Amino acid sequence: MRMPTIRRLLRWSCLLTLLGLVMCLWSLLVPKPIPIILAMSLAQGIGTVAFLLFLTVLYFDLRLSRTLPQALAKDAPEGKKS
């Protein structure tokens, strides 16, 4: 995956996180049923998508810097000793 794509995904993750936080803050400042329902359902979904985007960016960033294969090889068992 190219660097501009990774940056774009990271920006979307940040924007979605901020949107979810604003919706949660709205439900705290205006404690009526509709804001609370939106915060408990829609904002939670938005936050989950933002977190998944962030994990995707983290995975591809580690793959590009070649630290993920090294970390996986380091933690792999050497073999069974009998």
Copy the structure tokens of residue 16.
């979605």
Tell me the pLDDT of the chain (82 aa) as tens digits: 677 788 899 999 999 999 999 999 999 999 999 999 989 999 999 999 999 999 999 988 888 777 766 766 776 666 555 4
pLDDT at site 80: 55
**Integer distance in angstroms from the first to the last C-alpha of the chain?**
43
pLDDT at site 61: 84
Domain boundaries, the chain: 12-73
CA–CA distance, 56 with 79 (Å, rounded to integer): 31
DSSP 43: I
- Supply the pTM of this predicted model: 0.73
pLDDT at site 23: 94
pLDDT at site 64: 77
